[in-house]
């Protein structure tokens, strides 16, 4: 398959060690896990949500039929973690490229990503080294270049806009890799870009995970509810975004800061907003974001519309993870639906 893009990378192969060090350090910093959430920043406008753990039973079963790769499952896990990529993506591409560990490249050249320089195949000393190199390169494509879907990666690994006879074969790449992803139990990460967010009139919808509003402003059953609640299954740990440009004026705890459930709420053990952030947008307009999983961005931070200011949690008086969102005009709470209702109408 055509891999012209890899040629740029070839001169670096001869200096593998310094290269790995250069890339390794920023990756380790960017990849620091949010120990509470499961949502992790990769860069300022790219983040991912951890969907689930790798299914180790499927993983081990699939590696049994992986021929030359069959004893190397642990290295795929280790180097996926090191270079901050979804191990399922790494393994699915490798199984596709090597035809489940039987290709000559993997058997003779320890090259599980099947990289080549023009017509000359690359060779690694050990298969472990080949897996590490593949993970490093894939990490660059995903985390630096933002090629976060199998389709994006397919355009690099197996371009179909070429006229060298490989188009038909390359057309199979994406569906084949997706099928292997399913065999391994599905992707473990979902990426999103702030740049792709839902934007109307310089405002961005505040919870990209969902638009499900579960409780309204000052309803008859909750006359003192000064905002709206937004929630759906799995929202815990997902990003909360600034509605529009502004400056953070409060980033603090109000009431309790443990993660409350329905029983805590009923028994009055949990109180207040929990961790919350207030953003001043100027002209008397402020927004508040409550029940965050932990402290949000600090006071004084100048935020842009769509910038991550915290993550959804269930601190304060809360029955389950959700965002409590308030809009304040000249010191008075107003119904947020009058401002963000436009986002819900477009569904």
Q: In the complex, which residues of this chain contact Zn ion (CB under 5 A)?
A: 229, 324
Number of Cβ within 10 Å of residue 64's Cβ equals 9
| Dihedral Cα 315, 318, 323, 325, nearest 10 deg | -110
Query: At closest approach, how far in Å is the CB of 243 from Zn ion?
Result: 16
Query: At closest approach, how far in Å is the CB of 324 from Zn ion?
Result: 3
| Dihedral Cα 101, 51, 33, 126, nearest 10 deg | 0
Query: At closest approach, how far in Å is the CB of 249 from Zn ion?
Result: 20
Query: At closest approach, how far in Å is the CB of 280 from Zn ion?
Result: 21
Query: Could you report how far apart the first and last alpha carbons of the chain are, in Å?
Result: 41
Q: Which is nearer to Zn ion, 137 or 324 (CB)?
A: 324
- Residue in the shown chain whose Cβ atom is closest to Zn ion: 324
Query: At closest approach, how far in Å is the CB of 297 from Zn ion?
Result: 21
Helices marked H in the chain: 10-13, 16-30, 56-64, 73-82, 87-98, 104-109, 127-139, 150-157, 167-171, 173-183, 262-266, 337-345
Q: Which is nearer to Zn ion, 132 or 324 (CB)?
A: 324
Residue written as token pair 């910038």: 307
Query: At closest approach, how far in Å is the CB of 290 from Zn ion?
Result: 7
Q: Which is nearer to Zn ion, 84 or 319 (CB)?
A: 319
Taking alpha carbons only, the member of 163, 143, 159, 140 closest to residue 151 is 159
Query: Read out DSSP for 181-196?
Result: HHHTTS-SEEEEEGGG
Q: Which is nearer to Zn ion, 103 or 215 (CB)?
A: 215
CB 122, CB 104: distance < 8 Å: no
State whether residue 246 is helix, strand or coil: strand
Q: Which is nearer to Zn ion, 150 or 317 (CB)?
A: 317
DSSP state of 143: I
State whether residue 4 is helix, strand or coil: helix
CB 95, CB 101: distance < 8 Å: yes
Measured distance CA(21)–CA(83) in Å, rounded: 12
Query: At closest approach, how far in Å is the CB of 227 from Zn ion?
Result: 5
Query: At closest approach, how far in Å is the CB of 24 from Zn ion?
Result: 43
State whether residue 19 is helix, strand or coil: helix
Q: Which is nearer to Zn ion, 137 or 291 (CB)?
A: 291
Q: Which is nearer to Zn ion, 83 or 311 (CB)?
A: 311
Q: Which is nearer to Zn ion, 3 or 324 (CB)?
A: 324
What tokens appear for 310 in the block?
A: 């915290």
Query: At closest approach, how far in Å is the CB of 161 from Zn ion?
Result: 50
Q: Which is nearer to Zn ion, 96 or 291 (CB)?
A: 291
Taking alpha carbons only, the member of 188, 211, 226 closest to residue 56 is 188
């Amino acid at each position: 398959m055509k891999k012209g893009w890899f040629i740029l990378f070839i001169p670096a192969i001869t200096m593998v060690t310094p290269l790995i060090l250069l890339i390794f350090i920023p990756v380790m910093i960017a990849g620091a896990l949010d120990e509470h959430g499961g949502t992790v920043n990769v860069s300022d406008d790219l983040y991912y949500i951890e969907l689930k753990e790798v299914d180790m039973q499927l993983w081990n079963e699939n590696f049994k039929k992986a021929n030359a790769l069959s004893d190397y499952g642990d290295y795929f896990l280790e180097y996926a973690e090191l270079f901050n990529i979804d191990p399922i993506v790494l393994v699915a591409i490798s199984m596709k490229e090597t035809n489940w560990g039987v290709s000559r490249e993997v058997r003779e050249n320890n090259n599980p990503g099947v990289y080549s320089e023009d017509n000359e195949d690359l060779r690694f000393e050990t298969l472990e080294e080949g897996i590490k190199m593949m993970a490093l390169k894939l990490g660059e494509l995903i985390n630096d270049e933002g090629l976060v879907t199998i389709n994006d990666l397919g355009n690099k690994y197996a371009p179909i806009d070429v006229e060298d006879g490989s188009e038909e074969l390359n057309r199979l790449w994406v569906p084949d890799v997706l099928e292997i992803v399913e065999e391994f139990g599905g992707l473990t990460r979902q990426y999103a870009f702030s740049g792709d967010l839902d934007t109307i009139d310089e405002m961005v919808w505040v919870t990209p995970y969902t638009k499900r509003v579960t409780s309204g402003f000052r309803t008859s059953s909750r006359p003192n509810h000064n905002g709206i609640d937004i929630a759906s299954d799995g929202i815990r740990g997902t990003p909360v975004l600034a509605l529009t440009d502004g400056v953070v004026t409060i980033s603090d705890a109000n009431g309790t800061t443990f993660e409350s459930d329905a029983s805590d709420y009923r028994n009055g053990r949990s109180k207040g907003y929990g961790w919350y952030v207030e953003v001043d947008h100027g002209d008397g307009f402020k927004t508040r974001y409550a029940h965050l999983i932990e402290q949000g961005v600090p006071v004084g931070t100048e935020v842009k519309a769509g910038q991550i200011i915290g993550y959804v949690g269930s601190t304060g008086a809360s029955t389950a993870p959700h965002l409590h969102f308030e809009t304040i005009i000249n010191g008075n709470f107003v119904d947020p639906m009058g401002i963000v209702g436009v986002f819900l109408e477009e569904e």
